[in-house]
Structures are given as structure tokens and as C-alpha cells.
């Protein structure tokens, strides 16, 4: 049961708390981290391509935003491409915000 338990633990932390979900060739980011966290960093590898995810807490009156390689995205859905390059995802997430 240990193998199955570790899989569920991974899903709990990555999907439910950090809010990182992979859906086909996209990544959806919706953090549900505690308000006292200042943010987090994570790495995700998609085929031969690495994605660095940086989530930073901002004040509760700020607008949430997400950037892929310094380009503002329209939604919190990040396209995953396999180009063997490093891509950086920066997320500014207000305290208490849940999509």
C-alpha cells in the first residue's frame, strides 16, 4: 500500500495545495497555499523541456497574474511545448485568492 499511498500524497501536495495540474498539453495553476506562505518554487519536466514555476504572494487587493517567459498570459492555463528549452512561469497570487 506504500506505493499507492505515495501517489496520493503527491497528488494532494502538487495538485491540491500547490495547485499545479497537468491536463493534456497544458498546465493549470491555481495555488491554494496558506496565507502565511510567501510563495514557492517548483520544477516540472514535460518531455525534454523544463519549466520553472515561481509563485509569489502579493497583497490581497492586487490582481493575480501569470507570466510565461516574461509574457503576460490571458489565463492561468500554460501551454506545454516540447522544445528542450527552459521556460519560466511567474505567478503573482493574492492572499486569500482561490479561482
Query: What letter does residue 17 receive in the DSSP assignment?
Result: I
- In 3-state terms, what secondary structure has residue 60? coil
> C-alpha cell of 18?
500547490
In whole angstroms, give the CA distance from residue 41 to residue 90: 9
Given a cut of 60, whether residue 1 has pLDDT beyond it is no
In sequence order, what are the residues at sequence separation of 6 or more whose Cβ sits closer than 8 angstroms to the Cβ of residue 68? 78, 79, 87, 88, 89
pLDDT confidence of residue 95: 80
Query: What letter does residue 96 receive in the DSSP assignment?
Result: T
pLDDT in tens, 24-75: 999 999 998 888 889 999 999 999 999 999 999 998 888 999 999 999 999 9
Amino acid at each position: 500500500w506504500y506505493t499507492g499511498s505515495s501517489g496520493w500524497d503527491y497528488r494532494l501536495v502538487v495538485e491540491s495545495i500547490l495547485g499545479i495540474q497537468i491536463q493534456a498539453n497544458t498546465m493549470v495553476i491555481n495555488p491554494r497555499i496558506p496565507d502565511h506562505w510567501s510563495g514557492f518554487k517548483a520544477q516540472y519536466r514535460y518531455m525534454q523541456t523544463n519549466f520553472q514555476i515561481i509563485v509569489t504572494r502579493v497583497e490581497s487587493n492586487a490582481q493575480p497574474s501569470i507570466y510565461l517567459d516574461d509574457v503576460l498570459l490571458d489565463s492561468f492555463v500554460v501551454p506545454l511545448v516540447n522544445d528542450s528549452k527552459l521556460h519560466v512561469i511567474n505567478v503573482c497570487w493574492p492572499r486569500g485568492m482561490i479561482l
